[in-house]
Structure 1
Amino acid sequence: MEPSPLQVAELYKNGWQVELFFKWFKQHLKIKKFWGATENAARIQIYSAIITYCLVATIQYDLRLDRSTYEVLQVLSISLADKTLLSELFNKANSKNDKERSGYSEPNLFNF
């Protein structure tokens, strides 16, 4: 039985949706390779990446941050061991950026 042109178009459309999902997946979840060799290991890695992305997006929304997801993730990864409130953490990061923008520079210890 040969599929009709309408069925072929629908299959192509569905295939394109899969391609778009994997494009988004690779861009946002930053999974370059799978650490485990089993299906379960791959699922755990994918679920962990999705959960991390959702948590970062929630932090961005709740704190009304005007930063990219990548920047928020970088600040969080640098301060994993800190016992600082998230709002304070991003306020510190904002004040550092404000100093850089205003031309403020701290004295350099090695500037003779």
Structure 2
Amino acid sequence: MKKMLLAMFLIVLSLSSVSFGAKDDHYKNRVEKQKAYDKISSKYEKKIEDLNKKLSKKNDELDKAKSQKKPDNKKIKEITGERDKIKGELESVHSDFRKDLSKNKLSDF
């Protein structure tokens, strides 16, 4: 009976050590992935921030043009075109960012 209890104890002990080791590996893997993600995102961060600022300014400009007593439709179309161009650039940068993450087997957290 003692031998059987000792054997069961050793089995449980060995299984728990494997489990804890797996958690450590998972944590290390997670940290490495986060570092890789941060490195890639830093390449795109400034460009995205700049485009978001430009987009915000264009939206404000468009709102101002639309709120005039006599809105200039030609000016509104021009601003809308410029805004849409910025949106396209922003989407392109986001797409490149997602492709870069995918290429490195990372996901957008």
TM-score, length of structure 1 as denominator length: 0.30
More helix by share: 2
TM-score, length of structure 2 as denominator length: 0.31
With a CA cutoff of 8 Å and minimum separation of 6, indicate the structure with the bigger relative contact order: 2
Larger radius of gyration: 2
